[in-house]
């Protein structure tokens, strides 16, 4: 595969409709980048090219942290960070951009400060916004390449579609428990994320918070994303186009799976059906009701529990830590095969940690023409009102 060369004459929008001309990079410090300058594949011209480049890192989390740090260290002139969250203590197990003292601070702002501390010669733009259909095209337009460090499938598809429509190279990675995967898309006929995964039920895939993740795993995958981005910017090597790289931390093995562009791909196929990004139309699934913890408690107090079935769809380890009294355990992944265990004469109240997986369970039953209730905020919201629920007894399953 021929190296990829990108034009670097774009204009930037810092979350503002008014365009701002990209700053002319200063001459890279030969002492700071001495090891790069010693590489014939990079040299002074390549280092200057990096200084003139702009990379957008979406998600300052486990993947975005190492990717952003290595891009800053490498001398990428402009780095954009998209993240609307704040630092939580649970982030520090894997999100190496942050420190304990920063708990509660804006991730985007803290990431910017850390990157500038590492390399004061670069420009960092903190985009403290939630990425969505309304702003994705504007945010991506000013950058040369995008690194996807998000953990929701719906967002990955959104980023993929926007990159394809804008012709922006994309380096995507994902992590789950002890495994990671990565791929790269570049303009010019390479298969995109939708070619690999045409569609997927977003809510059926647990996040890191739900499934857990080895802390060092995103360090490996995020570093690979930075590697891919630098290769594409420099036009050297062979990017991961048409190849899915899979890493297994437990066996310490890498596997590679090749895939082709789908002629029927919805966004990069011969006759694409996705030709623009627009805000989704609001829709409401009939048969789905959402209750607060107080509403559920009142229903149970009113003696309607014989017409309700509390169904906990969390993973076994979450269930073992504590559950609402009287609930039954059907993990979300097994629900499609176990809907028959929910009697037709009762209304299931689905429960998970935060309300996301339980809503997916509601949708599953609604698709079968049944009514269902979602506990808004899940066990977390219930605990905030009534205290943490107790663990199940040994004889309960």
C-alpha to C-alpha distance for 362 and 219, rounded to whole angstroms: 35
Nearby residues of 389 by Cβ (< 8 Å), 6 or more positions away: 322, 323, 324, 325, 379, 382, 383
Tokens of 115: 């990157």
Which one is catalytic: 192, 208, 268, 362? 208
Instruction: Please give the span between the terminal C-alpha atoms of the chain, in angstroms, as a whole number.
Output: 54
Q: How far apart are CA 313 and CA 368, in angstroms?
A: 18
352 is a catalytic site residue: yes
CA distance 90 to 88: 5
Segment (H or E) for 239 = none
* Pairing relationship of beta strands 11-12 and 20-21 according to DSSP bridges: antiparallel
Kindly give, in sequence order, each residue whose CB lies less than 8 Å from that of residue 90, ignoring residues fewer than 6 positions away: 209
Q: What angle do CA 91, 168, 1 make, to 5 degrees?
A: 105
Please enumerate in sequence order all residues whose Cβ is within 8 A of that of 93, keeping only pairs 6 or more positions apart, or say none: 215
Contact 206, 177 (CB under 8 A): no
**173: how many CB neighbours lie within 10 A of its CB?**
29
What is the rounded distance in angstroms from the CA atom of residue 108 to the CA atom of residue 336? 39
Work out the angle at residue 136's Cα, subtended by the Cα atoms of residues 131 and 137, and round it to the nearest 5 degrees.
170
Residue 375's φ and ψ, nearest 5 degrees, are -80, 105
Catalytic residues: 208, 352
């Amino acid at each position: 595969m021929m190296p990829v060369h990108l034009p670097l004459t774009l204009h930037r929008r810092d979350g503002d409709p008014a365009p701002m001309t990209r700053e002319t990079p200063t001459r890279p410090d030969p002492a700071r980048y001495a090891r790069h300058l010693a590489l014939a594949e990079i040299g002074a011209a390549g280092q200057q090219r990096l200084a003139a480049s702009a990379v957008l890192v979406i998600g300052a989390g486990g993947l975005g942290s190492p990717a952003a740090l290595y891009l800053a260290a490498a001398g990428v002139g402009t780095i954009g960070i998209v993240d609307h969250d704040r630092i939580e203590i649970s982030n520090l197990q894997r999100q190496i951009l942050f420190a304990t003292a920063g708990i509660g601070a804006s991730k985007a702002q803290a990431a910017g400060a850390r990157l500038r501390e590492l390399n004061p010669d670069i420009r960092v733009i903190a985009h403290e916004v939630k990425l969505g259909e309304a702003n994705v095209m504007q945010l991506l337009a000013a950058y040369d390449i995008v690194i996807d460090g998000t953990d929701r499938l719906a967002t990955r598809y959104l980023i993929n579609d926007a990159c394809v429509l804008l012709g922006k190279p994309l380096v995507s990675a994902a992590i789950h428990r002890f495994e990671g995967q990565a791929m790269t898309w570049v303009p010019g006929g390479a298969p995109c994320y939708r070619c690999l995964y045409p569609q997927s039920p977003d809510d059926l895939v647990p996040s890191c918070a739900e499934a857990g993740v080895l802390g060092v795993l995103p360090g490996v995958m995020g570093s690979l994303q930075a590697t891919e981005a630098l290769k594409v910017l420099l036009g050297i090597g062979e990017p991961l186009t048409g190849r899915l790289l899979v890493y297994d931390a437990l066996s310490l093995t890498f596997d590679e799976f090749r895939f082709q562009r789908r002629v029927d791909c919805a966004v990069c196929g011969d006759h694409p059906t996705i030709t623009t990004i627009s805000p989704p139309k609001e829709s409401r699934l009939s048969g789905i009701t959402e209750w607060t913890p107080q509403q559920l408690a009142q229903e149970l107090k009113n003696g309607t529990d014989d017409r309700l079935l509390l169904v906990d769809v969390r993973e076994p380890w979450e269930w073992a830590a504590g559950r609402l009294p009287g609930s039954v355990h059907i993990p979300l992944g097994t629900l499609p095969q176990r809907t028959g265990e929910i009697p037709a004469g009762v209304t299931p109240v689905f429960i998970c940690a935060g309300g996301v997986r339980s809503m997916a369970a509601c949708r599953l039953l609604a698709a079968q023409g049944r009514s269902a209730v979602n506990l808004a905020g899940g066990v977390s919201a219930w605990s905030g009102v009534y205290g943490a629920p107790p663990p199940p007894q040994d004889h309960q399953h």
